[in-house]
Amino acid sequence: MKATPTVSCPTCGAPVEWTPQNAQRPFCSERCKLIDLGAWASESHAIPGDPLEDELFSGDLPPREH
């Protein structure tokens, strides 16, 4: 029989069994999952980007008149 793979919860570091029955994986709980979601929403977590690519469409349209 194969051993169940275990990973560390990205939020608290607790061991988490990686099984289909664990709906929260890779998190240990709904609480840790929501803490991580909140960090992304508040931009505490971010994926670095290229500032030139972030302004991809900025020069395509004339400026809006207010």
12 has binding-site annotation: yes
Strand partners for 15: 8
32 has binding-site annotation: yes
Show Cβ contacts of residue 57 under 8 Å, excluding neighbours closer than 6 positions: none
28 has binding-site annotation: yes
65 has binding-site annotation: no
| Structure-token match 């194969």, residue found | 2
List the binding residues for Zn(2+): 9, 12, 28, 32
List the binding residues: 9, 12, 28, 32
